């Protein structure tokens, strides 16, 4: 959340008063932008629900799951990118997220690996 | 002793320390929920074909909860923007909206839990199964009454998608009951995962609500003494709230739609 820069310490306005300078912030335009994102999120939610109701006979289960997860990722991007302001964050935060993504991928990778590593004599249904 | 760089950015990182702190915390949270999601993948993929429940959750309520949480993410952001432009009144309004939406989310979710915990699968001595919501289960009476239906085997209860279920009131003598169990976390793997994942998420919503509620109730004093510090606290709590929303974005399709 670094897009809105407030004034520096020396020119921070007194509480309850609007700052005279240092705030190139248009509250209404920001509100409008938030509403656009909200509408996009609503569309993504509707799309996920719509895909889940597509007939199983025409669209395979795997395709439906893949599509739903894709839309969920787009939805997550909207929240993380715009609402959490990740699109304009500092390098340190990106580094931290990079490490998290690495370990998360490792966690999921180990899960997939474990599924192929069944003990000898396992009975499959 | 004053904590350094609690308000203004450290020159080397370009951000204040609390923000680094919350992102580190969120990283640990990703791993916590990641462990549960990986458990879900393992159990879901390992389930024999045709034995994973579908349509057990109310998609309408789930969708409503998703919209409620998405809206609360917007109001949280607007509360922070209001602090940035030094409008405390607007901050109070937007955070009041966030708190109301959080309460709505929790009430809807608790309704779903109540629905699960009063929903019973009753195995009868004749081999059939009665499935429905418990209406009367008095230990002194020799019968139970449910609002539900009879099915011939458990397979009929696995995939409820697209089924039009007509419930009727059924009175079952206790002598005909072999065993009965509600749809709590002990019911099967799906319900265990559902309660664990949504329960942990609900705890996060509750904790976030306490923090936001504290800032809303007791924030004026800090606002009057140090508005920038207060704004940072609102930002940090907002980041946590967005993360809670982010987790739900994946929980909803995984537990309600797949």
Question: Do B224 and A100 lie within an 8 Å CB cutoff?
Answer: no
Per-residue pLDDT of chain A (125 residues; tens, 9 = 90+): 545 544 344 334 444 444 433 345 677 888 888 899 999 999 999 999 999 998 877 888 889 999 999 999 999 999 999 999 999 889 999 999 999 999 999 999 988 888 777 777 777 65
Contact B95, B161 (CB under 8 A): no
Q: Which of A18, A88, A93, A77 is nearest to B227 (CA)?
A: A18
Question: Do A18 and B70 lie within an 8 Å CB cutoff?
Answer: no
Question: Do A18 and B13 lie within an 8 Å CB cutoff?
Answer: no
Residue A52 Cα, gap to closest chain B Cα (Å)? 6
pLDDT for the residue numbered A62: 87
Q: Which of B29, B46, B65, B84 has the most A C-beta neighbours within 10 Å, making it the best mutation to test the interface with A?
A: B84
Residue A121 Cα, gap to closest chain B Cα (Å)? 16
**Looking at residues B125-139, what average pLDDT do you find?**
92
Residues of B in contact with A16 (CB under 8 A): 86, 88, 224
- The verdict on A105 touching B (C-beta cutoff 8 Å) is no
Return the residue of B nearest to A23 by Cα.
Answer: B85
B94-98 contact pairs (CB < 8 A, 24+): B95/B212, B95/B215, B95/B216, B95/B234, B96/B216, B97/B72, B98/B72, B98/B212, B98/B241
pLDDT for the residue numbered A23: 43
pLDDT for the residue numbered A125: 58
What is the distance, to the nearest Å, from the Cα of residue A26 to the centroid of all Cα atoms in its chain? 25
Q: How far apart are CA A100 and CA B28, in angstroms?
A: 8
Dihedral sign computed on CA atoms, order B247, B249, B254, B255: positive
Residues of A in contact with B225 (CB under 8 A): 15
Question: Do B27 and A4 lie within an 8 Å CB cutoff?
Answer: no
pLDDT tens, position by position, A88-116: 889 999 999 999 999 999 999 988 888 77
| Candidate from A2, A19, A68 with C-beta closest to B253 | A68
pLDDT > 90 fraction of chain B, expressed in percent and rounded: 79
Side by side, the strands of the sheet bearing B143-151 are: B168-173, B143-151, B129-136, B119-124, B177-182
Q: Is the pLDDT of residue B129 over 50?
A: yes
Q: What is the largest CA-CA distance in chain A?
A: 76
pLDDT tens, position by position, B13-31: 889 999 999 999 999 999 9
pLDDT tens, position by position, B68-103: 999 999 999 999 999 999 999 999 999 999 999 999
Question: Do A52 and B258 lie within an 8 Å CB cutoff?
Answer: yes
Q: Give the A:B interface size as CB pairs under 8 Å.
A: 153
Q: How far apart are CA B71 and CA B38, in angstroms?
A: 28
pLDDT tens, position by position, B153-178: 888 898 888 778 888 999 999 999 99
Question: Do A84 and B14 lie within an 8 Å CB cutoff?
Answer: no
């Amino acid at each position: 959340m670094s897009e809105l820069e407030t004034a520096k310490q020396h020119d921070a306005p007194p509480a309850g008063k609007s700052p005279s300078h240092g705030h190139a912030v248009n509250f209404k335009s920001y509100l409008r932008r938030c509403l656009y994102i909200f509408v996009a999120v609503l569309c993504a939610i509707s799309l996920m629900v719509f895909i889940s109701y597509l007939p199983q006979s025409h669209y395979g289960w795997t395709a439906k799951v893949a599509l739903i997860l894709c839309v969920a990722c787009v939805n997550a991007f909207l929240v993380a990118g715009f609402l959490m302001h990740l699109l304009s964050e500092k390098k340190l935060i990106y580094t931290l997220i990079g490490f998290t993504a690495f370990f998360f991928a490792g966690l999921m990778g180990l899960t997939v690996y474990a599924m192929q590593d069944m003990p000898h004599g396992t009975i499959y249904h | 002793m004053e904590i350094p760089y609690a308000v203004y950015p450290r020159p080397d990182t370009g951000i204040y320390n609390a923000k680094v702190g919350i992102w580190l915390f969120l990283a640990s949270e990703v791993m916590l929920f990641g462990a549960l999601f990986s458990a879900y993948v393992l159990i879901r993929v390992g389930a024999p074909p045709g034995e994973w429940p579908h349509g057990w959750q109310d998609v309408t309520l789930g969708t409503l909860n998703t919209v409620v949480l998405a809206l609360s993410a917007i109001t949280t952001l607007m509360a922070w923007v209001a602090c940035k432009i030094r409008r405390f009144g607007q901050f109070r309004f937007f955070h009041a909206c966030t708190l109301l939406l959080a309460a709505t989310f929790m009430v809807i979710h608790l309704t779903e839990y109540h629905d699960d915990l009063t929903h019973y699968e009753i195995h009868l001595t004749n081999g059939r199964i009665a499935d429905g919501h418990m209406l009367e289960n008095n230990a002194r009476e020799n019968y139970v009454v449910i609002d539900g239906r009879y099915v011939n085997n458990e397979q009929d209860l696995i995939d409820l998608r697209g089924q039009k279920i007509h419930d009727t009131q059924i009175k079952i003598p206790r002598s005909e009951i072999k065993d009965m169990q509600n749809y709590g976390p002990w019911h099967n793997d799906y319900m265990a995962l559902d309660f664990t994942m949504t329960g942990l998420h609900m705890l996060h919503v509750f904790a976030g609500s306490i923090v936001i509620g504290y800032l809303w109730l007791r924030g004026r004093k800090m606002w009057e003494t140090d508005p920038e510090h207060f704004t940072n606290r609102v930002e940090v709590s907002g980041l946590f709230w967005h993360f809670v929303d982010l987790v739900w974005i994946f929980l909803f399709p995984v537990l309600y739609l797949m």
